[in-house]
Amino acid sequence: MTRGESPAQIPGIASILGYGGVLPFAALALNLIADGPLPADFALKIFLYYSAAILSFLGGIRWGAATNLQTALARELTISILPGLWAVICLLMSSAQWSVWGLLCGFVVIGLADVRCPVPGMVAWMLRLRIRLTAAVALCHLAVVAVMPG
């Protein structure tokens, strides 16, 4: 936090890095929508792998926050490992369309978990940033699903 920022204000660097993390989702979705320079199969593969990595990262955020508690709650640690496991399952689904839907559901569910069961002691601004980023990522997933055949 820099001088003049309140504890509830989202730090500028967190916003820059957070929204920067949305850019690959948006660029790949746009590539698929507009028949961009990357071949569609390759762009979709990158989208899926990146999505799985970021979903796993969200679990890591919860793990890190939970381990800062005086007593690491079993619930917090359990919730924190689920996104990574779900991401792997989604990558193994029988079709790319199912994978995109599954990953979208993973982002929504972990977002809801962060709202309904926040890790005690999580900084005040984190939840607001997470909601915004999750909404942007969900829109990118919906855009990809919209242009996928069948």
Structure confidence by residue, pLDDT tens digits, 11-67: 999 999 999 999 999 999 999 999 999 999 999 999 999 999 999 999 999 888 888
Does residue 7 fall inside a structural domain?
no
Closest CA to 58 of 101, 15, 18: 18
User: Does residue 6 belong to any structural domain of this protein?
Assistant: no
Encoded tokens for 99? 């994978």
Pull the structure tokens for residue 29: 């979705």
CA distance 133 to 113: 15
pLDDT beyond 60 at 5: no
Identify whether 122 is part of a domain.
yes
Residue 4 within any structural domain of the chain: no
The distance from CA 107 to its chain's CA centroid, rounded to whole angstroms, is 5
At 116, list the tokens. 């309904």
Judge whether 2 lies within some domain: no
* 1 found inside a domain: no
CA–CA gap between residue 1 and residue 126 (Å, rounded): 13
Does the pLDDT of residue 72 top 60, yes or no? Answer: yes
Whether this model's pTM surpasses 0.75: yes
Domain range enclosing 52: 12-147
How many domains are contained in the chain? 1
Contacts of 10 (CB under 8 A, 6+ apart): 125, 128, 129
Is residue 133 assigned to a domain? yes
Instruction: Using the predicted structure, report yes or no on whether residue 124 has a pLDDT greater than 90.
Output: no
Is 21 within the bounds of a domain? yes
